[in-house]
């Protein structure tokens, strides 16, 4: 099983890992797309005014321009430790056991805007780029990433994909029809979609999976595991989607 997570706009700065090595990231077939985006971000960072406008940066976020300027030389840290925010705070990967972190490394992809899906333990630098940003000299990110990412996932051929991404990031790389998958929404018992609790619940779900380290290869297996652990998963009205039911 592979789990697809969205990234977060907020990130930890710094990192003592070796500089970014694009060929070493998960799904190496995406190397060409990754190189193009990194090159575009580094070039954009040379123009502070354009960076502020295109990346929609506030005064407090100007440090992100330097992060983009140093994408190829800055220190790195595992992707799952790089991101902050509600989902990643709930996952709290830093407090997991070594075995659970290895499970994350084997089973979780985090779908970033500049690198595409990366492994949870893949080392990445701090950066600034959102799914909806249009970079000079590069096609719109959806056109740049979608077909290549879908093909890379198909080549990897996971037995089953649990898709926890936001719609914006799912559009950057739809799971191919050849790979069994299910898209997860977070709702109340009455079926109302949630925002803050959406992210928190996804983080807690992935933490529970990492703690248990189950061997799951089908939606049926995931449902059985969820039921055994008091997690409510039910069919949504739309095909290909399940609802993760939580309390507010």
3-state secondary structure of 153: helix
Alpha-helical (H) ranges within the chain are: 31-45, 48-55, 63-69, 79-82, 86-91, 98-107, 141-156, 167-170, 196-212, 219-228
Residue carrying structure tokens 């700065």: 13
Question: For 42, how many CA atoms within 13 A lie in the half-sphere containing its CB?
Answer: 13
Tell me the pTM.
0.96
3-state secondary structure of 63: helix
Q: What does the pLDDT profile of the chain (248 residues) look like in tens digits?
A: 999 999 999 999 999 999 999 999 999 999 999 999 999 999 999 999 999 999 999 988 999 999 999 999 999 999 999 999 999 999 999 999 999 999 999 999 999 999 999 999 999 999 999 999 999 999 999 999 999 999 999 999 999 999 999 999 999 999 999 999 999 999 998 888 877 789 999 999 999 999 999 999 999 999 999 999 999 999 998 999 999 999 87
Nearest CA-CA partner of 167 in 188, 186, 180: 186
Please give the residue range of the domain that contains residue 218: 2-245
- b/e sequence 94-103, b meaning 16+ C-beta within 10 Å: eebeeebbeb
The CA angle 184-188-189, to the nearest 5 degrees, is 105
Does residue 45 contact residue 65 with C-beta atoms inside 8 Å? yes
3-state secondary structure of 58: coil
- What is the tally of structural domains in the chain? 1
3-state secondary structure of 109: strand
Dist CA 126 CA 94 (whole Å): 17
């Amino acid at each position: 099983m592979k789990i697809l997570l969205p990234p977060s706009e907020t990130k930890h700065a710094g990192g003592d890992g070796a500089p970014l090595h694009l060929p070493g990231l998960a799904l190496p077939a995406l190397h060409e797309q990754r190189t193009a985006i990194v090159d575009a971000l580094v070039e954009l960072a040379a123009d502070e005014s354009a960076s502020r406008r295109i990346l929609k940066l506030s005064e407090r976020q100007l440090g992100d321009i330097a992060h983009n300027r140093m994408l190829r030389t800055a220190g790195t840290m595992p992707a799952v430790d790089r991101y902050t925010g509600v989902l990643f705070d709930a996952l709290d990967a830093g407090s997991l056991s070594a075995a659970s972190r290895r499970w994350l490394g084997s089973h979780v992809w985090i779908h970033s805007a500049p690198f595409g899906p990366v492994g949870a333990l893949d080392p990445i630098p701090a950066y600034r780029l959102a799914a909806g940003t249009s970079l000079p000299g590069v096609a719109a990110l959806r056109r740049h990433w979608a077909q290549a990412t879908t093909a890379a996932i198909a080549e990897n051929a996971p037995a089953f994909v649990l898709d926890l991404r936001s719609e914006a990031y799912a559009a950057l790389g739809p799971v191919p029809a050849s790979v069994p998958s299910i898209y997860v929404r977070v709702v109340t018992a009455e079926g109302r979609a949630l925002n803050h609790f959406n992210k928190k619940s996804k983080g807690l779900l992935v933490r529970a999976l990492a703690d248990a380290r189950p061997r799951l290869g089908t939606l049926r297996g995931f449902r059985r595991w969820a039921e055994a652990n008091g997690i409510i998963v039910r069919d949504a009205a739309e095909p290909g989607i399940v609802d993760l039911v939580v309390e507010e």
